[in-house]
Amino acid sequence: MKTLHRVFGYAIVAVAIAYIIFAAPHIVAAQSHTVINAGHLVDVENGRILTGQQILVTDGHISEVGPRVAAPDGAQRIDLSDSYVMPGLIDAHTHLALQEMDGSDIDDHGSYYYASLIEDTSMRVAQGTMLARAMLEAGFVWVRDTGNNGLYGDVTLRRAIEGGWIPGPNMVTAGRMIAPFGGQFQMNPEKPDLGEPEYFYADSHTEIIRAVRENVHYGATFIKLIIDNQPYIYSVDDVRVAVEEAHDMGVKVMAHAASDEGIRNAVLGGVDSIEHGFNPSDETLELMADRGTYLVGTDFPASRLGETRYWSNVERNKRAHAIGVPMAFGSDVVYYEEGKTRGEQTIGFLFSYVDAELPNAHILRMATMHAADLLGANSGRLEAGRNADIIAMPANPLDDVSALYGVSFVMKDGHVYKEGGQFRWDIPTKLNNPRRKQPRGNMLRQR
Ligand SMILES: [Zn+2]
């Protein structure tokens, strides 16, 4: 009986200790509250300005938006009463670990041979560290990074950002691009290995399944297929095999495709987005609209692309918009332009949609809520429950998209990275453990 009492006593003590260690801190931990006074709230969804609004941010999430929120005592205050406040920007097609330096030494007509030869992954992650900060500073709170990162340089960047080691946007990472033999390269038969690690060659269905699994294992959170850069292109069945394997894990799939046939195969195979999609027929665009497949246009400016190809893309944007294709903003900036950061360059890629005469509100939706939906990011809207990803600027972006060049305030996940036009980032004294292991089973989760 005595022993039983003792065991019972120990059990109570153990439960009490466990409670103190695990549960109590969560109960007593003070929530952090911030109230933003938003003089002009850009209602991106409805294309209008709401004046005199407040946003309550609680522990990194938006908890209330309205003329007067219920701010608890001691809440921090941020005054943006003179600013236009909107959801943070999202670029659905970046290459943060790829940068042509001066346009000549590694420009091999888009093959990126030289980049992969000259620069190892660690060098490219160092570049990416700079470019990630440039993106955040310009107002981009999320990016989907789409390959050409050496050997998982994008995954390293994502983990460093998630761990708080470096400032940058939240990232969705494609890892290595899965492609039929050769990828986007034209290789030399004496050196067939030069295509790797940029591309992950997979030709048979067995190889495609293996490539998807291996890529996810090493840190891909989105799969990228290269559809039609060789005479042999991925068929509908090839694409379907990859999509079923990825979707079963809760991982989405994007397809690099330029030709009408390539785009069509990818759409019929069930991908979530078409990247580039330069030459779709109206029929294929209608198929995309029916199936809800996003077009991520990646339209380089005329200064880079030449007038003919630029205006052909503008015309494609017009057709896609008229047909009702879901469109998300993605830039594909890989080159260097003197006098501009990567973030400023990226904003310049919005103007192909201005030239296509899409409404400014629609262009803002493409770079916020639509891109968020494509990425599966809990971002892109200023509404309760979303991550507090908020930017502000002095001019009205609904009047002129150029206003985005003036982003003077950036909040990501409730943390302020830019205020009064000044970027600020303190070395954190509390680090998160960057996730080394992918979650088990289905990865579909709110980002
Ligand atoms: Zn790209």
Asked whether 233 and 179 are in contact (CB, 8 A), the reply is no
Instruction: Delimit the domains of the chain by residue range.
Output: 1-29, 87-382
Asked whether 424 and 417 are in contact (CB, 8 A), the reply is yes
Output the CA 330–ligand 1 centroid distance in Å: 9
Q: Is the pLDDT of residue 366 over 80?
A: yes
Output the CA 18–ligand 1 centroid distance in Å: 50
Q: What is the pLDDT of residue 116?
A: 76
Strand, coil or helix: 344: helix
Please give the model's pTM, rounded to 2 decimal places: 0.91
The CATH label, of 3.40.50.300, 3.30.465.10, 3.20.20.140, 3.50.50.60, for the domain at 87-382 is: 3.20.20.140
What does the buried/exposed string (b/e) look like for 224-241 if buried means 16 or more CB atoms within 10 Å of the residue's CB?
bbbbbbbeebbeeebbbb
Output the CA 298–ligand 1 centroid distance in Å: 8
Output the CA 320–ligand 1 centroid distance in Å: 20
Output the CA 369–ligand 1 centroid distance in Å: 21
Per-residue pLDDT band at 65 (split at 50, 70, 90) = very high
Output the CA 434–ligand 1 centroid distance in Å: 26
d(CA 412, CA 363): 21
Listed residues: CB within 5 A of ion ligand 1: 332
pLDDT in tens, 397-440: 999 999 999 999 999 999 999 999 999 999 888 777 776 666 67
Q: What is the pLDDT of residue 100?
A: 77
Output the CA 103–ligand 1 centroid distance in Å: 16
Average pLDDT, the chain: 91
Q: What is the mean pLDDT of residues 364-371?
A: 98
pLDDT in tens, 80-138: 999 999 999 999 999 999 887 655 444 555 556 677 777 899 999 999 999 999 999 99
* Percent of the chain residues topping a pLDDT of 70: 88
Output the CA 93–ligand 1 centroid distance in Å: 6
Output the CA 50–ligand 1 centroid distance in Å: 36
**Which residues in 101-147 belong to E strands, given as ranges?**
140-145
Q: Is the pLDDT of residue 168 over 80?
A: yes
Asked whether 273 and 294 are in contact (CB, 8 A), the reply is yes
Output the CA 94–ligand 1 centroid distance in Å: 7
Output the CA 38–ligand 1 centroid distance in Å: 35
Radius of gyration of the chain (CA): 23
Q: Residue 178: beta bridge partners?
A: 200, 225
Output the CA 95–ligand 1 centroid distance in Å: 6
Indicate the burial class of 204 (C-beta count within 10 angstroms; 0-12, 13-18, 19 or more): exposed
pLDDT in tens, 264-279: 999 999 999 999 999 9
Centre a 10 Å sphere on the Cβ of residue 283 and count the other Cβ atoms it contains. Answer: 11
Q: Peptide bond before 197: cis, by omega within 30 degrees of 0? A: yes
Please give the order of strands across the beta sheet that includes 61-66.
Answer: 61-66, 48-58, 33-43, 76-87, 390-393, 409-412, 415-419, 422-423
